[in-house]
Amino acid sequence: MSAPFDRSLTGELAADAEQDWVVQPQAGDEERVVESALRPHSLHDFIGQPKVARQLALVLEGAKRRGRAPDHVLLSGPPGLGKTSLALIIGSELGTSVKITSGPAIERSGDLAAMLSNLAPGDVLFIDEIHRIARPAEELLYMAMEDFRVDVVVGKGPGATAIPLEINPFTLVGATTRAGLLTGPLRDRFGFVGQMEFYEPAELERVLARSADLLGVELTPEGSAEIAGRSRGTPRIANRLLRRVRDYAEVEADGRVTREVAEAALALYDVDHLGLDRLDRAVLEALVVKFGGGPVGVATLAVAVGEEPHTVEEVCEPFLVRAGLLARTPRGRVATEAAWQHLGQPLPRGGVPLGRVTAEPQVPGSSSEALFDA
């Protein structure tokens, strides 16, 4: 049986965790230790997500005044935006303990029943990547969320008996990066659903100022703005870049993080002014230079940059699409006009129409042959 409250918060790209991409939102095990020291402990200290924080504050205050456990909470959004921090804050605001586990760690319904039976009244159970929970455990969770009761099956075959087990009232906090993969019955049992949004640069500067104070880093406003602008709207990336820039400042400069120091440090770590790293630029360059802007299939694009297709699709493409540098079309991936400009490449004749190849391909590989189907 899996250990209760397994703290391993394995993400969708665990197999790629060993590849230390400095601007990727997934966190490694060692980084989570650092993050725990930087996490806010109350909604008052939590920066960003004003709508979700305000709504959550009302839910928690109302529950405390009624003397009951608040409704179950679902937090959805891309990684690195503060879902785990909000889950821990919920426990802190309620004055109860938080038990942490992850969806992949709950393989059997018995694992979940053991966790639920050990909860004290009012405790918070946080399940990260809840969309990956095993189906038998998910079905057991339905009754636990609604009636605070689970049925433990004793025996096998015709002689099996279901014994009802009462559990203490608790609050389930689920976090997911893929809300669309949640089943309808599970999603409907959450009383509050918070959609996490990417941060604005001004909010990231406040995050960096707070982190710099906790880390003892002398950070100038200009240096903070430079780091925030390359952080992809994600606090986790901002804090990671701050630590890398701090190392550079302490070794190569006088310890102060100024704009010049930040620019030099981030250039050393291959993070450009848009937040693109080496792999992001390799994907764009392959698409623009080798394949004339596309369309090209993700498998072919992955071979061109020497990576696995799921790495290109899950790690690189989300930000490239969000930044308006790449488009996914039924015929394959296509570089936008902004991608050509970012790489300093001259635009093809006739512009860059999405999803259509020019009559005269600029370079081999830009045609619409079956080889490049998505």
Is 51 catalytic? The answer is no
Which one is catalytic: 83, 240, 331, 333? 83
Using the CB atoms, write b or e for 45-67: b if 16+ within 10 Å: ebbbbeebbeebeebbeebeeee
Is 71 catalytic? The answer is no
In order of 70, 198, 312, the CA distances from 55 in angstroms are: 12, 17, 36
Which one is catalytic: 10, 71, 84, 132? 84
Which one is catalytic: 99, 132, 189, 236? 236
In order of 119, 154, 185, 212, 304, the CA distances from 164 in angstroms are: 16, 11, 21, 51, 57
Is 83 catalytic? The answer is yes
DSSP string of 300-317?
A: HHHHHHTS-HHHIIIIIH
Smallest CA-to-CA distance from 174 within 65, 94, 98, 284 is with 98
Which one is catalytic: 16, 71, 111, 128? 128
Strands (E), the chain: 73-76, 98-102, 124-128, 149-154, 161-166, 171-176, 192-195, 218-219, 256-257, 326-329, 332-335
From the CA atom positions of the chain, what is the Rg in Å?
24
Smallest CA-to-CA distance from 296 within 315, 312, 311, 281 is with 312
Is 300 catalytic? The answer is no
Which one is catalytic: 96, 171, 176, 177? 177
> How far apart are alpha carbons 42 and 91 in whole angstroms?
9
> How far apart are alpha carbons 257 and 247 in whole angstroms?
10
Catalytic residue numbers?
Answer: 83-84, 128, 177, 236
